[in-house]
Amino acid sequence: MKKILVTLFLILALTPAALSAQPVVPRDSSFRIGHLKNGMTYYIRHNGREAGIADFYIAQRVGSILEKPNQRGLAHFLEHMAFNGSQNFQGTPESPGIVHWCEAHGIKFGANLNAYTSVDETVYHISAVPVTHEPNIDSCLLILHDWSHYLNLSDKEIDKERGVIHEEWRTRRAGMAVQRLMEDALPVIYKGSKYADCMPIGNMNIVDHCPYKDLRDYYKEWYRPDLQAIIIVGDIDVNRTEQKIIKLFSNIPVQENPAERIYYPVNNNKEMIVASLKDKEQPIMLVTLYMKHDATPDSKKDTPQYLRDSYIDKLISFMTSQRLNEMQDANPKPCLSASARLGEFFISRTKDAFTLSFGARQENIKESFNAAIGTIERIRQHGFTQTELDRAKAFLKKVIERIYNEHNDRRNSYFVKKAQENFLNGEPLESEEYDKHVTEQFQNEVNLNEVNQAMHKVITDKNQVLVVYSPDKSDFKIPSNQEFKQYVLDAQKKSYPIYKEEKVSSELMKKLPKKGRIVNEKPGIQGSIEFTLSNGVKVYYKQTSFQKDQVVMKLFGEGGTSLYPDCDVPDFSFISTAATKTGVDHYDQNTLDKMLSAKSVRIY
């Protein structure tokens, strides 16, 4: 009956008339979702996959984008302070601190007790908590409660943490060229936008010297229940946990005249924006071309049409990646690497982009531009083919079937992520069953014309941003910004031939090898059976129920690099990569990928 109802809903919901009315996507009923009077949201889900274990999260729709100029870096600073004393975890002998309590109960700081601050969100978690002892649940909820509204933020602890954060900043910048380059690129990429200066690590002058009040002001203004969600997933009693949440978190006060939580816009641009930066520790020239478009508002995401659009985006991403892989089949490869995706534009929530990234070859930078951008432009001029679409659909069908088959065998983190995406980004919280049914319907309905129309909306020659990170070396000649821009425009002005694909065989082996036989069988290690084959190969076989629809095979021989002179060891380090990238038999890697796109096979 349940399947009949789901199917009926889909038939009604996905007709053209219904799509215009836009019914909402039904939420996964395995989640208990509620809202307290103070505005706080909670998600609870039982998951018996990890017996006796649960994860506790508090997700917040706040991040470094909300900082005032005098608060740059304080969103991240506040994350550090959340572990340094709160109302119920003072950090004294009488009231152990959060870190002390957690580690005393087997919850390791940094691994199972941690947090992150990004531009638009802040998330704290206590994971892998043993919950067979009921008081552990109460204590973890109390920690979330204190994180929400009851941090001490004492002068002494603030001063102690300044140096810790400064060292984190120094370490990041010292060891990550991309981090430095990205921070320097933001003012160019986001000129005139709040995103131009919003990296969470912030301004070290402010971190080192800010008045205590500035940090407390940020906490008071933004850590409030209407912007927070409690997420509990694991081997817990849902009803009892819900009552605990209602009793404990309802006392957090509503803020009077709360500040508006603004999601800042990103301007469009007629002329291409070019940000070219260099660093002595940047190993290669990394080029990223963004084609911006408006992101779907959160208010329009909880609809069947959004799921359909997302399905088409996945098709486009898959087919584009396959084209880039074919481009890289040339010898020598025109680019050091090449990839493409559809998603957020750089770090902004309100603007999406089609993103092309590639590594340019030092000896022929322009040719790398021509190859990568030309591949995308060829798609824009002529679209995808029916064969490509059929292959992409088969691949997505395989993926969604695997997700559905494993949905009752998922770790807590999988369900936590679903809840987080729903609360923080407005993503639908549909069940795996609904997702499977709706994807099957899209597979039948979505045609090549619809996909190519959608492609033309995202792959364009307008609203472009070009970002180039280059090595700062005397022998590495870097073109000017105008030259980079012209490389892109020239590649996009060319006319490209229609894409024609060679027919891909459906047979992996045209002739099967001669059949061998088992010459010996005996009990093996770890409950396996050991077979000896007629060619001398030993096979260890063990049947398990760890994961449905999966067979893992591994072939190895003893010896390895120890059998060869030390001078040959560097060469042997490339063997595993070569083995996985050169294909099998007379099929190259791209042809093999196409042949296996509809099959659940991974070779590594």
Q: What is the pLDDT of residues 415-433, one digit of tens each?
A: 999 999 999 999 999 999 9
Average of per-residue pLDDT across 22-42: 95
pLDDT at 420: 99
Nearest Cα to 224, choosing from 264, 260, 265? 260
Residue 550: which pLDDT band, with cuts at 50, 70 and 90?
Answer: confident
Distance CA 144, CA 126 (A): 9
Distance CA 508, CA 185 (A): 47
Beta strands (DSSP E) in 391-550 are 464-471, 518-523, 529-533, 538-541
In the DSSP assignment, the letter for residue 505 is P
pLDDT digits (tens, 9 = 90+) for 188-247: 999 999 999 999 999 999 999 999 999 999 999 999 999 999 999 999 999 999 999 999
- Cα of first residue to Cα of last residue in the chain, in angstroms, is 42
Higher pLDDT, 564 or 134: 134
Is the model's pLDDT at 51 over the cut of 50?
Answer: yes
Domain layout of the chain by residue ranges: 31-249, 273-493, 518-595
In the DSSP assignment, the letter for residue 586 is T
Average of per-residue pLDDT across 401-408: 89
pLDDT at 460: 97
Is the model's pLDDT at 436 over the cut of 90?
Answer: yes
Q: In whole angstroms, how far apart are CA 362 and each of 9, 197, 327, 353, 479?
A: 56, 31, 18, 27, 11
CA atoms within 13 A on the CB side of 250: 10
Residue 594: which pLDDT band, with cuts at 50, 70 and 90?
Answer: low
pLDDT mean across residues, the chain: 91
Average of per-residue pLDDT across 513-518: 86
**CATH of the domain spanning 31-249, picked from 3.30.1300.10, 3.10.20.740, 3.30.830.10, 3.40.50.300:** 3.30.830.10
pLDDT digits (tens, 9 = 90+) for 350-370: 999 999 999 999 999 999 999
Is the model's pLDDT at 4 over the cut of 70?
Answer: no
pLDDT at 184: 95
Higher pLDDT, 576 or 517: 517
pLDDT at 121: 98
Burial of 434 (0-12, 13-18, 19+ CB in 10 A): buried
pLDDT digits (tens, 9 = 90+) for 451-469: 999 999 999 999 999 999 9
**Is omega for the bond preceding 16 within 30 degrees of 0, making it cis?**
no
Q: Report the CATH fold assignment for 273-493.
A: Cytochrome Bc1 Complex; Chain A, domain 1 (3.30.830)
Distance CA 15, CA 26 (A): 16
Residue 5: which pLDDT band, with cuts at 50, 70 and 90?
Answer: very low
Residue 562: which pLDDT band, with cuts at 50, 70 and 90?
Answer: confident
For 154-217, the DSSP string reads: -HHHHHHHHHHHHHHHHHHHHH-HHHHHHHHHHHHHTTTSGGGG--TT--HHHHHH--HHHHHH
Is the model's pLDDT at 591 over the cut of 50?
Answer: yes
pLDDT digits (tens, 9 = 90+) for 280-317: 999 999 999 999 999 999 999 999 999 999 999 999 99
Q: Over pLDDT 70: what percentage of the chain?
A: 89
Residue reference for tokens 């940094």:
110
* 8 Å CB contact between 34 and 41: yes
Please determine whether the domains at 31-249 and 273-493 fall in the same fold group of CATH. yes
pLDDT digits (tens, 9 = 90+) for 60-90: 999 999 999 999 999 999 999 999 999 999 9
pLDDT digits (tens, 9 = 90+) for 108-153: 999 999 999 999 999 999 999 999 999 999 999 999 999 999 999 9
Is the model's pLDDT at 104 over the cut of 70?
Answer: yes
